[in-house]
Amino acid sequence: MSKKNIHPDQYCVFGNPIAHSKSPLIHAAFALQTGQAMAYERRLAPLDGFALAARSFAAEGGKGANVTVPFKLDACALATELTPRAQAAGAVNTLRFDGDTILGDNTDGAGLVADIMRNAGVAIAGKRVLLLGAGGAARGVVLPLLEQVPQEIFIANRTVATAEALVAQFADALGHPGQLRAGPFTQPDGVFDIVINATSASLAGDLPPVPASIFGSHTLALDMMYGAQPTVFMDFAAQHGAQVRDGLGMLVEQAAEAFYVWRGVRPQTQDLLAQLRGSL
């Protein structure tokens, strides 16, 4: 074995807090599965010191990093180059260090779309999609959802102006007028095929004040949060006939997409997802 193969490539995830992150477990499984020589660790960055922490990691020879709360905007500012989807999201969750270049990408939307289409087996093309929330989590998934050409995406938010700004931002990505709309939580009318909760309400055990009439027996209701028990949103949706899903699949799929950005290899996700689900 030549000397350069002895040391695996270094990767990490930055966050604050970070101890709870499942990323090291996920990427270790992907590396093993694909035969990639890489090491992956958690790194706690000071709230006011993300850029320094990321640059230090790159200087130590780090090849790439995942970025979680609250540093996705800092990571966007740090990147010297942004992918179109990171630019559209205005936030970065994946960095690739390559000499002086810091590539910023956002794999959240691709992860969500892969989970809906591959794991849940639900097509997005031609469907009515309701996106709850207009913050960073929602912003990251609009472009990948639009690329699947749904009939419409309705962005509902407490502060309607924020949702309207998001619609205006993505107006040039539209296939046809009326595909993207905004309004308050109380406005969405009729049954939607896919309802995505991109608010952080579930963390506090709260529910966005949406009408129950948005759910039908063919609705897929997905909460970006996950835990051992279904979220309040999932319970509410299930009570009104919807099929429900949490954010664990999205977590695994966005990690697989980041792995592909770094290594050029796309790992399989099904077994790992089942394993993680069993360990919650």
CATH architecture for the domain at 9-105+250-279: 3-Layer(aba) Sandwich (3.40)
The tokens describing 171, both together, are 């107006």
Catalytic (active site) residue 72: yes
Of 254, 69, 105, whose CA–CA distance to 273 is shortest? Answer: 254
pLDDT per position as a tens digit, 94-109: 999 999 999 999 999 9
C-alpha 119/C-alpha 268 separation (Å) is 11
Of 126, 188, 124, 127, whose CA–CA distance to 154 is shortest? Answer: 188
Contact 184, 155 (CB under 8 A): no
Same fold, 9-105+250-279 and 109-245: yes
Q: What is the pLDDT of residue 3?
A: 47
Catalytic residue among 3, 4, 63, 72: 72
pLDDT per position as a tens digit, 139-163: 999 999 999 999 999 999 999 999 9
224 is in an annotated binding site: yes
Contact 197, 135 (CB under 8 A): no
Ranges of each domain in the chain: 9-105+250-279, 109-245
137 is in an annotated binding site: yes
Sheet strands side by side (includes 101-105): 38-44, 9-15, 64-67, 94-98, 101-105, 81-82
**Average pLDDT of span 49-58:** 98
pLDDT per position as a tens digit, 23-53: 999 999 999 999 999 999 999 999 999 999 9
- Does the structural domain 109-245 have CATH classification 2.60.290.11? no
C-alpha 266/C-alpha 215 separation (Å) is 34
C-alpha 212/C-alpha 169 separation (Å) is 29
Which pTM was predicted?
A: 0.93
22 is in an annotated binding site: yes
When pLDDT is cut at 50, 70 and 90, the band that residue 172 belongs to is: low
C-alpha distance across the termini of the chain, in Å: 39
Task: Name the phi and psi angles at 140, rounded to 5.
Answer: -70, -15
**Average pLDDT of span 226-236:** 95
